[in-house]
Structure 1
Amino acid sequence: MVAAVPSVAPKPVPPAPTPPTLAAVTATPESAPPSPLPSQPPPEPATPAPPLRRDRRFVLLAAARTVSVLGNGFARVALAFAVLALPGAGAGRLSLVLACQAVPQLAFVLVGGVIADRFSRSRLMVVSDAVGAAAYAGLAAMVLTGHAPLIALCALAVLAGTATALFSPAMDGVLPLLVPATRLQRANGLLRVATNSSMLLGLALSGVTVALVGAGWALALNAASFLVSALLVRGLRLAAVPRTAATSGWADLRDGWREFAGRQWLWVVVAQYSVVVAALNANAGVLGPLVAERDLGGARAWSVLVAAQALGTVAGAGLTARLRVRRPVLAAVLATFPLALPLALLAVRAPVAVIAPAMFCAGVAADVFGVLWATTIQQEVPEEALSRVSSYDWFGSLAFAPLGLLAAGPLATRIGAGHALAGCAALVVLATAAALLAPQVRGLRSATAA
């Protein structure tokens, strides 16, 4: 981490002497009355910042994310069961399609960071939403018509992953342009409360939608949500970040890397989450749905579990919006440990009534981490490099995600889904314990916590 230069408090400047009056010049010291100080108008009270719910641009951003995440709630369940319902489909095909979605997220996220720091972040988000809408509309059409060649499914999954790669760094850099640094944690928390509530609603309805009308219509709803999000984000009209000099894309990447690698707390936690995300993606994408399909009752049971986790994220975001911690990175890393509990319970085929509370607790922990982590990056990283640093965060965190998805299906076939889930739980615990060894993870203090 680049050491901060200590600030030196300026010396107080004495007030300028008051020009002497005629009476003061002619009077003797004994007879001169004290000269009254000139009357000063009372300082005007500072105008409090308006609530975030009255900030037009913040409301537009929150509405766009709420609508988009509502559609993703449908797609999160629908895509897995849409692929599994196709003739001849199994765990291997599902792993391949989901890996095709994850690989471009990894391959193009650094490009997305450079573009977001060069041009208007809101405009890039609009383009990304349009690409995502096209990808999910194509997936919905193939599922609804029953004509879904594997190569076409993979191509559209690649397109959807590319849209996410371009969107994510831009989104991470937008919020500091809308709210001051002292309100970032509250803004992050409120934004996550809105999006997580939307995800909860989408997940709660997704199982019913898939069961009643099929996965194709759920994917079509997701495509429509991308279009609505694009229209709302278009109203932000954020200008490009001012640049001091024209540089090449490679130079921008090098500058972003220096900002990223110079902070130990940042790259250590990203390395931790490269393992954690791989384990969680293997569960959410392949292993969890397989266990639900075989032992827990199918799509409805899995949607109940995922909805319980989503409910926990709402509670976690609401809690963290008001939480003040002096060591946010330490608190965020410690909050990762509960994410292993649902994996362990799924491994032993615990009843849904037991797994659901564990999923809720994991959801709370996940958003405690998410809000603290996002706020710390937004406060510690210079704004002109924020999207590039965020892209390295995404790149590192997703580094092993495709491997986790590709390996999940074959591992479930060879050693069983239960053993694979137990291994994933162990990886989460070990990676989190290793991150706590870094001094800056334990010692970085918040600049704004009271």
Structure 2
Amino acid sequence: MAPAITLAAEAPKLSAANTGFMLICSALVMLMTPGLAFFYGGMVRVKSTLNMLMMSFISLGIVTILWVLYGFSMAFGTDSGSLIGWNSDWVGLGNIGLTELWPGYTIPVFVFLVFQLMFAIITPALISGALADRVKFSAWALFIALWATVVYFPVAHWVWGTGGWAFELGVIDFAGGTAVHINAGAAALGVILVIGKRVGFKKDPMRPHSLPLVMLGAGLLWFGWFGFNAGSWLGNDDGVGALMFVNTQVATAAAMLAWLIYEKIRHGAFTTLGAASGAVAGLVAITPAGGAVTPLGAIAVGAIAGVLCAMAVGLKYKFGYDDSLDVVGVHLVGGVVGSLLIGFFASGKGQSTVEGLFYGGGLTQFWKQCAGVFAVLAYSLIVSAILAFILDKTMGMRVPEDDEVAGIDQAEHAETAYDFSGAGGGAAKTAVAPVAAAASKKVDA
């Protein structure tokens, strides 16, 4: 949103309440990355569990350092050509005052930048789910650094930075439908088209090894998403953040139910994986739209996304691209659906007076949403594919086939997720010994 224009006498003052609220929201968004790690980690086979966890966790390290060095400046600094930002005073974050406010708001710059940092961390982590079982960890780490620099930081400026072309056009993205989910989903598609399929794709069973972990991860994501969405209003003074909080819950519930109904009709069962995936689809879809729609509109957005995402996850088998954990089907499709439906369901009573088609506003906003959606999709898809191609031709993106078959955890991390080598030892042996001795004496007698 554009910073408010105020007179000097009306300049905002630091709000302890909003500052505390935003720090809590930042912590909630940080929790989403470990939640994502559990969500993805439970969905892979046991031999890839640790690698999947690490592909999310490493983003916490890499992106944090890049954000301090130059990422925040690129994303939110002074605009250049509507494409990128820069502010040399923000390089290294050494020239920011402790109580210096983010323009037009009542929170310090430090609070805004750490909140946005958590978005920058989880976005490349989302990509990792499409690449399960087959990518070198070193290549993945370098990909994160390059992708954040040339894709995420510029796109964040387009969408949220003052002067960014999508921001100035009026594209609505409350909390990251384009900048986070379409961006990550398109990147995932670009990379998997370059690196190819897993060994045994469409032939070997590749079922989740721990559905309890999947449900735990989905629950943590749902919990953290309240900070992700409600916090994106950067304050708690006018009720818009509260509307977003309500719509986040409502749309997620609707999407989960819609996905379950679809899979019961289509496949004959209500699955835990379907419940978790449907919830995430709803969270994704409401992320761009939740500040613009009513709770009834949120039900519609969630239900539509739940069904369309459930349908989309099967496309990989039809078209032959190996999206391991359905990043394209959930995040790309869910982000597109949620962003475009703003053009129909925006009520004009939330974050702005913009009205969608169903509220008498015509298709003006829909076409703006299309511009934002497809520009980000195309840019991320193409640039991500180029980055993957370069890395594949230089250092190699994939582990050797033997390592993939034997297990990427052992090959890349020299560890396994579960160690059963001690089963039957220790206390179990000491408990059995007296029983055996007593039995022996009875037989002798």
TM range (shorter): under 0.3
Pick 1 or 2: higher relative contact order, CA cutoff 8 A, min separation 6.
1
Q: Is the helix fraction higher in 1 or 2?
A: 1
Give the TM-score normalised by the residue count of structure 1: 0.27
Give the TM-score normalised by the residue count of structure 2: 0.27
Task: Choose 1 or 2 for highest CA Rg.
Answer: 1
